[in-house]
Structure 1
Amino acid sequence: MRFSRPFCLALLPLLASCQVFTDKPTETAPTQSRLQGELSLNAGQLRFRPCQEQRQFVVEDAGANGLSRDVAGLLADGSGSLYVDMRGQLQASPQKDVDGKFILSQVYRLQAEGPGCGDINFARTLLRASGHEPDWNIAVSNQGLVLHRPGQEPQALPYLEEQLPEGRLNLSSEANGQRLELWVAKQRCVDSMSGAVQHLSAELRLNDQVLRGCGYLGGARND
């Protein structure tokens, strides 16, 4: 039997569609969420309550993040709970007195002091870094960079950002007769005064002065 050429051409889209439907479905990565809230210890378990919520989740850390160790250190002074900013996956849990479990993958910040859930600037912040001896604090948003130092007026400066390998960043500004460079890298960092744990190490070069500290990405930017 012979088929006409138009009939053969009509079969081509059907054959192509068969090929599409026989391909294996692609696997999607588990969805992760970045959440902020209150972290506490309850009968040896880490319990997490997101900001402005009543739900509670058991936090599971495989050990690479060292969260249990950091929590124990910060709670040693008698504090009842800590503020935490972290990323992970929410899952169901068979445990009856919780709403699920949180499989931890990244800790951005863990602290006993500060505004915590009440920080109204967090959602607009791209990056914050600070250090001591002498004290300094830098807040970065889409509007620019603001340098805070004790006894001086805050300085709002334009800046250039350079993204480097391994998640490192360089922010630079040259204005008002001074040069500023802020270098941050993905490295666990502990604040020398408060003991707060942050996920970035920071180095501020201000003219000829080199100052070191810690930093974290704000709510307006994820890594």
Structure 2
Amino acid sequence: MKLRHIACIVSWALLSLPTLADEVNIADLPASKPADTKPRLAYGQVLKYGDKLMFAPCRDRSFVFFEDVSADGEVGKALDLIGLAAGKKLYVELLGFVEHDRLKASQVNFAQTDGRCQVPGTADEAWRASGNEPGWILAAGGERVQFKRQGREEVVLPYAPAVPENGLANYRVFEGGHTLTLRFEQKLCRDQQANSVFGWTASVTLDGETLHGCAWQR
């Protein structure tokens, strides 16, 4: 299975201003554009540097300061669960935007202690989910959903987009004698075995058997 992830580039625009010696008509200057504050997924690493938090984008030698703008500091609390406060370097996928020299993060999609940058998801993979005891993994996107439980054969079924609405995404399919129901809910989910946190909880029901775990968007 592929995993839904990563290469990220955070870019900064440099505005060149005229000097006093330049003869410029103000009316000829382009109107300044408002800052783009639409949250997007940012992929990279977060680490402590002294008393500051820094974000370094994947495949980029630059960095910006990291600022948690989530309600009640939920992003920071989630990252502290897997070691940020203790000084550990984290691989993160965060919803946010860059303003000046800061990444303003509002939501966690996925974060892992000492994780490496992953390849971004494609149209063929919109979700990934997993759980423990028993172990299982799932990838959904494109035209199929793949589900594998520990010690059992993989089940592959047709898939149609499960688009989140009000923090909830559902999908149900009947095919080849199987009934599969997926439920992804936008709540913080921690996998202690993998030392990871996720932005979504997952419930997968196959032929009457329900398994629970964590999910993230690809």
Could you say whether these structures have the same fold, taking a TM-score greater than 0.5 normalized by the shorter chain as the test?
yes
Which range is displaced more, 38-47 or 62-71? 62-71
Equivalent position of 1:36 in the other structure: 43
Percent identity over the alignment is 25
Equivalent position of 2:20 in the other structure: none
1:181 partnered with 2:188: no
Q: How far did 1:39 drift? A: 1.1
Contact 1:178 1:207 in 2 (8 A): yes
Contact 1:87 1:104 in 2 (8 A): yes
Amino acid at match of 2:133: E
Equivalent position of 1:9 in the other structure: none
Equivalent position of 1:86 in the other structure: 94
- Aligned-residue Cα RMSD (Å) equals 2.7
Please tell me whether Structure 1 or Structure 2 has the larger radius of gyration of its CA atoms.
1
Determine the C-alpha separation between the residues in 1 that align with 2:92 and 2:35.
Answer: 28
Determine the C-alpha separation between the residues in 2 that align with 1:30 and 1:39.
Answer: 20
What's the CA shift string for 1:98-136, capped at 9, x where partnerless?
xx211112221111265x41x336344201111111111
Equivalent residues, number: 184
Q: How far did 1:53 drift? A: 0.3
Determine the C-alpha separation between the residues in 1 that align with 2:66 and 2:197.
Answer: 17
* Higher RCO (CA 8 Å, separation ≥ 6 residues): 2
Evaluate the alpha carbon distance shift between residue 207 and residue 79 of structure 1 in structure 2; reply closer, same or farther with a 3 A threshold.
farther
1:46 pairs with 43, 49, 53, which one? 53
SS at match of 2:82: helix
Equivalent position of 2:136 in the other structure: 136
Determine the C-alpha separation between the residues in 1 that align with 2:142 and 2:70.
Answer: 35
The structure carrying a bigger helix percent of its residues is: 1
Which range is displaced more, 179-188 or 58-67? 58-67
Runs of 4+ in 1 over 3 A off after TM superposition: 76-80, 160-165
Determine the C-alpha separation between the residues in 1 that align with 2:39 and 2:142.
Answer: 25
**Gaps spanning 5+ residues in structure 2: where?**
1-33
2:80 pairs with 72, 75, 83, which one? 72
Length-normalised TM-score, structure 2: 0.73
Length-normalised TM-score, structure 1: 0.71
Amino acid at match of 1:177: G
Contact 2:79 2:197 in 1 (8 A): no
Equivalent position of 2:195 in the other structure: 195
Determine the C-alpha separation between the residues in 2 that align with 1:152 and 1:79.
Answer: 40
What's the CA shift string for 1:25-79, capped at 9, x where partnerless?
xx88634332101111111222111110011111111352423333333127977
Determine the C-alpha separation between the residues in 2 that align with 1:110 and 1:122.
Answer: 15
Determine the C-alpha separation between the residues in 2 that align with 1:215 and 1:192.
Answer: 14
SS at match of 2:94: strand
Amino acid at match of 2:75: L
Determine the C-alpha separation between the residues in 1 that align with 2:114 and 2:143.
Answer: 27
1:61 partnered with 2:68: yes
What's the CA shift string for 1:72-103, capped at 9, x where partnerless?
331279774111001212122xxxxxxx2111
**Gaps spanning 5+ residues in structure 1: where?**
1-26, 93-99, 219-223
Equivalent position of 1:127 in the other structure: 127
Contact 1:161 1:170 in 2 (8 A): no
Contact 2:143 2:160 in 1 (8 A): no
Amino acid at match of 1:189: C
Amino acid at match of 2:59: Q
Amino acid at match of 1:168: L
Equivalent position of 2:150 in the other structure: 150
